[in-house]
Amino acid sequence: MKEYVMGNGAIALGALKAGVNVACGYPGTPSSEIIETLAKYPHEGLHLEWSVNEKAALEVAAAAAYSGARALVTMKQVGLNVASDPLMSLAYVGVEGGLVVVSADDPGPISSQTEQDTRRFADFARIPVFDPSSPEEAFEMIGDAFAYSEKYKTPVIFRPTTRVDHGYAAIEAPDSYTPKAYEGFRKDAGRFVIFPRLSYRNHGMMEERNVKIGEDFSAYRFNTAEGGPSEKAVLASGVSYKYAKEFLKDHPGVKLIRIATAYPFPESFTLKELAGVKEILCFEELSPYLEEQLLKLSGKHHLPLTVSGKLTGHVPHMGELSADSIALLLKKYLGIDDVLESKQTATPPQLPVRPPVLCAGCPHRASFYAVKKAMAGQKTYYCGDIGCYTLGNSMPLDMVDTCLCMGAGVTMAQGFSHVDGEGKAFAFIGDSTFFASGITGVVNAVFNEADITICILDNSTTAMTGHQPHPGTGINMMGHDAGKISIEKILSGIGLKKIVTVDPLKLDEAMQAVRECADIRGVKAIIFKSPCIAIEKSSKKCTITNACINCKKCIRETGCPALTTAEGKVTIDASLCTGCGLCRQVCPVNAIGGDGDE
């Protein structure tokens, strides 16, 4: 049965076809839809979970793989940093069942802190990596990844990039799925309990194994060459291969070499295909990993080969490659006259720049505004975190001084408190991020006697990545009501000086809570609790009355996108307004009314 699915859906269907038994992950764009797709299709016999973070997900999956089951773990590239501790050890210990770690890279970056390249992590961890170039290929290749994992008893990394994750294709999906049968865990402390002696012994085994895998990959079906023979060739991987192939279909004399398994590098295959080639141009997203491998190969075998790419400045280091950018680069490389291509055509208009902002009615706006107004005139440090609330940095709120990585807001605020006894340090963190990586930081703050106020922006969902559940919402991915885990009780158990829960949309009460906490020395927390407007829809609307003096304070101070001007006068876009009432509380002349009134 053919299904038209997103690349992440293709990965999910491929994993079901491969008989996956356990699938764990933490939501992170561009990988989030894999777990969600698994939940939508019949999956009897499959344990499915959104784990509290990537480290937890990988460790759950590892035990399943120790038992002979096939386990899938999903995350984005920066999530692999969180999971790196168990991953590095798993490379030494090995697995029984297939263990595939999907780490989705984000060239651009479109929705990430970094442009890090997961292929380098695979090299660092000494485990194989698969690099699909399309949704169709991802559907097939995920099954191969499980097979190689079991064949060599090693975890493997599966590295799609944004355009593969979010592209669409028709997939020949099977009508039914059968989870893999497995024997269960066989106790063997000499293998599964990691000690220095075991690591020393297995390190040598890993290096020997990877030479064998590299030879195996030289015959792998998705490592291909087409076109030629020619003294000029192109080497590509991932979606860049598809872009290059699209251009080179009109130039069949140029050899196109595709590497789908970057590590261990398929040396024999590449050497064979380089016969007669004198120049080669590399296209790959993110770092020049394959380019470096070619240079090593060329030096090792004394090849008369000129390698060009990112290292030589022929291909840009930053951002995504595209069909258009690769076409331009190939024209230059091949010396193709571009005169005919450059005839005047209609130039499409420039799209307007639309920076991301908090949604109209988002309770986070009210939380930030309450802190800003309550602390006006005082020396403050505002440490942000990863999530919708990172957008608190936008003007006119301007309430994020630092944002490093998930959970860092809580711990960085502590650093400021220790070096500046006069300033007031605030940490902003969401409810989902609190469970993922915030609790440790809170414990650290109490134990090390920091003076900070932790603002937990609890909107009852994981909003930024698509409204996935978390331990505070109660319902897990198996559809079971596991009970809501109380943030307030966790904080109480840790031993904070004061914990206040307040509705941020009640501005006066929220500001009073901020003042009270800021005046107490030690670790305090304000839980700003109000649901995300996307999960609790509101039909309320605010309206501008004739009392408006057109001072525009509501626009200048809140930045709500529902507030705008028409013919020089303040107006409210009813299609955006949710009636949250923040603007009504900001207005100095009570000129905003309507459904937002209490």
pTM, full prediction:
0.87
H or E segment at 444?
helix 439-447
The residue with tokens 């764990």 is: 24
For the chain, residues classed under CATH 3.40.50.920 are 224-335
pLDDT along the chain (598 residues), means of 10: 92 96 95 94 92 94 96 96 95 96 93 91 96 96 98 97 96 87 91 88 93 97 92 96 95 94 97 96 96 96 96 93 95 79 60 82 94 96 90 91 91 93 94 92 95 94 86 85 92 97 96 96 96 88 92 94 90 93 94 69
Cis peptide before 316 (omega within 30 of 0): no
Give the pLDDT confidence score for residue 343 in this predicted structure. Answer: 46
* Other C-beta atoms lying within 10 Å of the C-beta of residue 429: 30
Query: Which amino acid, 44?
Result: E
For the chain, residues classed under CATH 3.30.70.20 are 542-594
Query: Which structure tokens are listed for 586?
Result: 């900001």
- Domain 542-594 part of CATH 3.40.630.10: no
Tell which CATH architecture fits domain 224-335: 3-Layer(aba) Sandwich (3.40)
Residues 6+ apart with CB under 8 A from 125: 84, 87, 88, 91, 157
Tell which CATH architecture fits domain 2-217: 3-Layer(aba) Sandwich (3.40)
Each residue's pLDDT tens digit, 109-123: 888 888 999 999 999
CA angle (348 as vertex; 343, 352 as ends), nearest 5: 150
Give the pLDDT confidence score for residue 479 in this predicted structure. Answer: 86
β-partners of residue 456 are: 429, 527
Give the pLDDT confidence score for residue 20 in this predicted structure. Answer: 97
- Domain 363-529 part of CATH 3.40.50.720: no
Helical pair 118-125 and 289-301, crossing angle rounded to 10 deg: 50
For the chain, residues classed under CATH 3.40.50.970 are 2-217, 363-529
